[in-house]
Structure 1
Amino acid sequence: MDVRALAVDFGDTLAVPGPNPDGRVVLEVLRELPGTHVPDTFVAAYDHVHRITREGDRVRDTHTSFATEIHWAAQLCGARIPDPEAALEPVFERVPDSRVIRRAAEALLRIRARGDLVCVLACDTQRPESVRRRTLVEAGIEDCFDALVLSCAIGLRKPHPDFYAEVERACGVPREEIVFVGNTPSKDATAPHLYGMRAVLVAPTGRPRGLADTIGVIGHFADLPDHLDRAAADRPTLSGGSPPRAPR
């Protein structure tokens, strides 16, 4: 089976993760928006809401929106915030995004230059698409991607099966013709493999114990072009044959 699409994780795969905003940063931005009244107690309220929301999201593989977290924190502390959505871009413009790794960017450009693969960015992130695209532009790789699948946009996080279904739709090819590449074994290798995609894990310390032999392993994203070349010559190197196909 030919590989026709590549789905790529972001943090710790293509980039060094950046910080997430805390309640103090969110408070500063909110106070600059018209019509808001936000007491100092918002800081603790937001940090509390964010912590328990993320815990719940990890259990359910969901992604609660940033605006919803702001709304819930406002209810806790009595803040008046007419438009929580308006804080989204200003907050994430104030907090640095992930820094794209040069070697990884160069490898992605090599892959894209071949012109035979659809490329989709597929990651869990709070940052809106506009901010993430700006980061990709600054790194010179925005044109490498045909689509972005972000957890904050679809309300689901890896390893929810519907996240991979959204990736499949974005790629526009059958799941067995997609290679999913990332650094987290459960989310970027095992789950997409069980969904029916091919998978390559970025693992600097080598193959984790218990990882299926049918999942490829590389030490750095920069190794991916050579890995794909070897797989094209000897497909079992990548997948060991067709991966299991999940029921539709």
Structure 2
Amino acid sequence: MAEALPLSGRSCVVTGGSRGIGAAVVRLMAAQGADVAFGYHHSADRAEALCEEVRAAHPGRRCAALPGEVSDGPGAQKFAAEALDFLDGRLDVLVNNAGVTRDVSFARMRRDQWDEVLDTNLGSMFNVTRPLVMPLVRQRKGTVLNVTSASGIHGAPGQTAYAASKSGIIGFTKALAKELGGLGVTVNAVAPGFIETDMTAALPGPHTDLVKSMIPTHAFGSAEDVAALLCFLASDRARYITGQVIEISGGLVL
């Protein structure tokens, strides 16, 4: 008998799912047997195309692209309600992936830049997780997965706001894991380093070459690398892992 797909029958919600790491997570979760509702903010055409791709590749698998500005409280609540409605009130996995960066030296940073990064990267964690955590608690099973960053662990010049927000995600992850562990819910975070996404594609060539020379593997990771780790943590194979922050950076900092 063939082995069941690792996420067969699971209902999953992914924020920031229309591109980059989020889109890779949506694709892999569907490939591993899950129904997925994911959020997007600006990329409606890209989000709908991703849904069509998933449904074509996996007939019978359910996929929904839902608009929502998760840094905004009412917008996040609407997104969470629509996601639960699409999934018939059931939730097994929540992936908090929505994020932005506004890299600038701290001396030149404006308060609105600081607020945008903190509100999107950290504020959305509260906005989305708060209404979606109770379905997990009621069934006494499930997982919350948060995407932080190697910058949140080690810091990086020009990224004070980004590093602060991603470091906050780490504290959030560890505290929530202690709260929910006895209720059957695991909470973990992954901390990507340099990953091939739209964000790193904007780096100038000489800077990219310099960074790669500092990474032991001499390469950027792929969004699929991060998705594979998140899907493992979402599966029963990771049922005894909670409160952890797993760096996936090619050994950027050892």
> Does the alignment reach a TM-score above 0.5?
no
TM-score computed with the length of structure 2 as normaliser: 0.36
